[in-house]
A = this chain, B = another copy of it.
Amino acid sequence: MYGWMDNVLRVNLTDRTIKTEFLNKEKLEKYLGGRGLASKMLSDEIDPGIDALSPENKILFAVGPLTAVRGPLTARFMVVTKGPLTGAIACSNSGGTWGAEMRRAGYDVIVIEGKADEPVYLWINGSKVEICSAKNVWGKGVTQATEQLKAETNEKAKVSCIGPAGENLSLISAIINDYHRAAGRSGVGAVMGSKNLKAVVVKGAGKKVQVADPDALKEVAARCREKIKESTTTSMVLPKLGTAMCVVPVNSQGAYLVQNGRKSFIEDDSAINGEALAAKYVVKNSGCSHCMIQCGRETRVPDGLYACEGEGPEYESMWALGACCGILDRLDAVIKANQLCDELGLDTISMGLTISCAMDMFDDELIPVEDIGAPLKFGDAAMVVKLVEDTGYAKGFGAKLAQGSYRLAESYGYPGYSLSSKKQEIAAYDPRGAQGQGLAYATSNRGACHSRANVQMHELMGVNPTVNPHITEGKARLVKDKQDFWSTVDSAGICGFLFLGITNQEFVDALTAVTGIKWDMELVQKTGERIWNMEKLFNLRAGLTVKDDSLPPCFLKIKPENGPTKGMVNKLDEMLPEYYKLRGWNEEGVPTVGKLQELGL
């Protein structure tokens, strides 16, 4: 079929079998690719009730029909598994060059099953696939492991691997590809660790996907380039500031969480915003395959306690490891902590918010200093850097942090200190200052997440359609529609930032040109709705209930005392029933039979 390689690579680590299968055509039509297709396959192949770290879990890498098909359409891939942090379906999106390489190797999906009896890595050299011993790289950090695996296989190979955190089964561990790019959330790194799988190394074989209408694709790609050039955001602001461009607008609207949510606003953000990062630490821009925006940043702290070189941080990481831990003046320490997360294979958001949770509890005298080994005060940059390292190696108090903020806080009897939903830490937008964002966190199928609905774009960033962030009216509809929309985008294999330049028209035109199927926005929304409901069914079968569609109590009860959102709380209870109704779900958040039939589920 046009737009797909038609190949699934299936590797069983227990019995070391390697197979290539054809893609299921019906699933492709209904779930498109990437996130939708892989989630459906996972859902069909495993019992959602299993332990996420057992050999029964599977981990899938998947690209979509638009992944690396032509510049400037980008090259995202998805990692899908049952998430050990959340117990829900996990689906982590990453960029870089690895996804494009997987496509050139000829695969749409890689399914990894079972558990190796000793550390291994998978070496995919086009159609030649091997399971190799990873004993030389086990225990190594991401940079060293990546370099060594390239040396063992092929210098041009691309490496997606875990660091010590994933090996140690940290529930906030990530999978890192291309040295610095992360499939970050829900503890996907630990699933690889549980399978004794250090890395998936891939080298393309020059395979190209068959496109239904190459001329039409060429035309729409040219249109995308024009739009990206025309848009100030994609042509100037993102290249200059990276995703850290969000600090000023979000903070200026009082939706920037400080000190684990005690405040929502910094009077002066000039030491930790995107401009400060660009002016002082960015060496040059970087980016994913096929992308002309290049929003990534190579950074360097030239000297001092936190001297380092590497990539990032992104906006969310800057916040989680910075302001949320009360660090308002040491961007150098934040850069260092971020680079350590990449190196050790940790999710920056969950890491930062687990440390901030510990700081909050320490300040309230709920964690004794003996447990930590030293006082842990808000704003203590040196402790943040140290605790990231200890978490990666599960050393001392780091072993507790490695379980994420929810389990940490719960172990002391105060789970409400964790800024999480479905045990996954929220992102850098205070739901008190952005009502819809709160609903989006609470209902996200993979646990709290900003990118499952991206309503912050409409509530706080001026993206059309813009909405008043402070009201609940209309938010159930907005969240539902955007969740459906992004489900399809994630399944197509391209990057959300493209949409700060291109429009939906370019998106459907590209899908049509590549797949030969006539796409329009109705089909985009319907496909997304099907994917969303399918993921929801996975979670229900995994044992999640209406109680898991929730927010931490502080956002529902505690009012910020300063800044533009002074006196506000999130009114989730006003939005959730309407959201369920719009979704065709009952009051317990369970899809009705009618809705499932309508979607062919």
B-binding residues in A (CB < 8 A)? 230-232, 236-237, 240-241, 245, 248-249, 251-254, 267-270, 274-275, 278-279, 462-468, 470-471, 473, 563-566
Contacts and interface: CB of A to CB of B under 8 A. Distances in A.
A29 B467 CA distance: 48
A380 to B, nearest CB: 26
30 contacts: A230-B275, A230-B279, A231-B275, A232-B236, A232-B237, A232-B240, A232-B241, A232-B245, A232-B274, A232-B275, A236-B236, A236-B237, A236-B240, A237-B237, A249-B462, A251-B466, A252-B462, A252-B463, A252-B464, A252-B466, A253-B462, A254-B466, A254-B468, A267-B465, A270-B464, A466-B564, A467-B564, A468-B470, A468-B563, A471-B566
A251 B253 CA distance: 16
Main secondary structure of the interface of A (DSSP, over half): loop
A269 B466 CA distance: 11
A248 B462 contact: yes
A566 B248 contact: no
A566 B253 contact: no
A125 to B, nearest CB: 44
Contacts of A230: 275, 278-279
A278 to B, nearest CB: 8
A103 B473 CA distance: 56
Contacts of A563: 468
Contacts of A269: 464
Q: 3 closest A-B pairs (Cβ-Cβ)? A: A252-B466, A468-B564, A252-B462
Find the residue from A269, A465, A564 having the highest chain B CB count within 10 A: A564
B564 A253 contact: no
A563 B236 CA distance: 28
Nearest to A280: B230
A306 to B, nearest CB: 22
Nearest to A254: B468
Contacts of A566: 468, 471, 473
Contacts of A240: 232, 236
A563 B245 CA distance: 25
Contacts of A468: 253-254, 470, 563-566
A302 B202 CA distance: 53
A592 to B, nearest CB: 31
A563 B471 CA distance: 11
Contacts of A231: 275
A461 to B, nearest CB: 8
Contacts of A248: 462
A112 B564 CA distance: 47
Nearest to A240: B232
Nearest to A230: B279
Contacts of A467: 564
Contacts of A275: 230-232
Contact of A464 (B232, B253, B268): B268
Contacts of A473: 566
Contacts of A270: 464
